[in-house]
Amino acid sequence: MTPDTSSTPSSPNTPPPNRTPFDALAKNEPATDTTSADASGTGSGEPSAATDEFHDEFNSELNGEASFDQTPSSEFFVEEDAVTTPPAAAPVSVARVNAAPPVAAVPRRKRSRWPIVAGFVLLLLGAGAASGVWWRNEKIRQWKWEAIVMPERTARVPKEWPVEELAERLKESRKIRDRETFLEAAAQVGLRRAMAGGYVLPAKAGPLEVAKIFAAPPSLVKVTFPEGWTGARMAARLEARDFTHAKELHRLLYPPQQTISPWEGRLFPETYWLPQHGTAKQLVAQMHDRFKTITDGLPRPFPIGANGKRLTLDEVVTLASIVERETSVPEERPLVAGVLINRLQKGMRLQCDATVQYALERAKDSGQLPTGRQSRLRFRDIDAVELSPYNTYKIKALPPGPICNPGEAALFAAAKPKASKYLFYVMSPRLGHHRFAEDFAGHTRNVRLYRQELRD
């Protein structure tokens, strides 16, 4: 049967079998417009507007000017009833036509390890610095708590102090290293206030040991001994202050069956902080140590006394004790000491009332004479102690030992007396000091004035 050619007219522009309009476009060939067929089935032979638009977009894409959507426009195709469907052919992918040229793969850079190493090093440095700071702070803390050598073995609190003021005073006196550390130690032992009194410190102590000492009652008592006091009066004052071994101290100063006291004159009169429960030897040692410190500083050489010999230290102390009891005027002490030296050099009796009074005190203390106070020395008192080695109205020399405990001024006056020609002196009640004379006539005149002033 002859095929019907009216429905598919032959035309040079008709694509061959198995070809699509996309193939023609790929080769830049004119494509036959199948979308403009009329109702009779014959085409006009010219490309449609849709075909031209597609062709232009494709060329632009190939020339790199523009791109178009991969999905074909609906205007490109004709309805199924307007054109005969060509034989099936292999579909051409629009995506393949529009695909961009392949991009070369960028090589992946190898990651550096230096940041990791640097971070680790910084971490180690930070840890080392932190441990160094901790070690330093720990050493400082241990140093603040360590025991230190006490600059002195006693601490005095004149009145009740709060613990904060106590810490300041201890820091100033270099008995602790750190105020805050001591306050921490005080809190541990319950120390809030320090009681008035004296405290004995060990040779070495840390803040905790010091806090414990001040948390306890004071072990030292403040006691003042005036210049010119005898050992017996010192012992009596300690007994009145409830010292445990005051009576033992008296027996130590004045041993039974001994006329001369081994300690009289050698206990320096001063204000002390003494252990209330200390032994007699401890009390004597503390006062005698101060005496040695003072006498070590006396000027040398000592003056010449009897028989052209220089006085020994014991004799200087004895002379100083007489000066201390003979006058209470500081300016007179060197002059009175010079008068006594002049009398010793001439072999004269000293005839000092103070020595006789001391002999009377010792006789009463030992029970040889009845006790009782008297304001003035009387002639019968001289006779009462006629045999005493301290009676300078009878002997032509210094007494065998001091008659009191002299102060520093009297000791320096005896070590370096004022030179003069005076051999006598007598007290003037009206003037308040002594009148001096070079001979007995002048002395007799001064004694007359003394008696007259007493009557007036």
pLDDT in tens, 196-232: 888 989 999 999 999 999 999 888 888 999 999 999 9
Look-up of token digits 């007799």 = 444
- Return the structure tokens found at 179: 């105020």
Question: Percent of the chain scored above 90 by pLDDT?
Answer: 48
Q: How far apart are CA 331 and CA 109, in angstroms?
A: 105
Give me the phi and psi of 194, to 5 degrees please.
Answer: -100, 130
- Among residues 412, 416, 153, 152, the alpha carbon closest in space to that of 296 is found at 412
Q: How confident is the model at residue 241 (pLDDT cuts 50, 70, 90)?
A: confident
pLDDT tens digits along 100-113 = 566 555 566 666 66
CA 207 to chain centre: 10
433: how many CB neighbours lie within 10 A of its CB?
Answer: 15
pLDDT tens digits along 20-74 = 554 544 444 454 444 443 434 444 444 455 455 555 554 554 454 444 444 444 4
DSSP code string of 270-293: SEEEEETT--HHHHHHHHHHHHHH
Q: What is the pTM of this model?
A: 0.63
Rg (CA), the chain: 63
Which amino acid is residue 326, in one-letter code? E
CB 449 within 8 A of CB 437: no
Q: How far apart are CA 315 and CA 267, in angstroms?
A: 15
Look-up of token digits 């052209």 = 308
Residue 270 pLDDT: 94
Of 366 and 432, the one with more pLDDT? 432
Residue 108 pLDDT: 65
- Return the structure tokens found at 153: 């073995």
Sheet holding 220-224, edge to edge: 154-157, 197-200, 220-224, 271-275
CA 69 to chain centre: 88
